[in-house]
Amino acid sequence: ATLADAILDRLLHRAHRITMTGDSMRKRQADLTDRDRKD
């Protein structure tokens, strides 16, 4: 548990927040897969 805390502290303190807009790529992939099944 202590090692995990140390790793997370190092990752989070150097993290940058990126705000993304638009449709999720997962949603787009699901739509493509659904279309392939219909054909």
What's the chain's length in residues?
39
Residue-level pLDDT, tens digit, the chain, 39 residues: 899 999 988 888 887 888 988 888 887 777 766 666 665
Q: Where are the alpha helices (DSSP H) in the chain?
A: 2-13, 25-38
- Tell me the whole-structure pTM to 2 decimals: 0.33
pLDDT of residue 31: 73
31: domain range?
3-36
For residue 9, the model assigns a pLDDT of 87
Q: How many domains are there within the chain?
A: 1
Question: What's the rounded Cα separation, in Å, for the pair 4 and 9?
Answer: 9
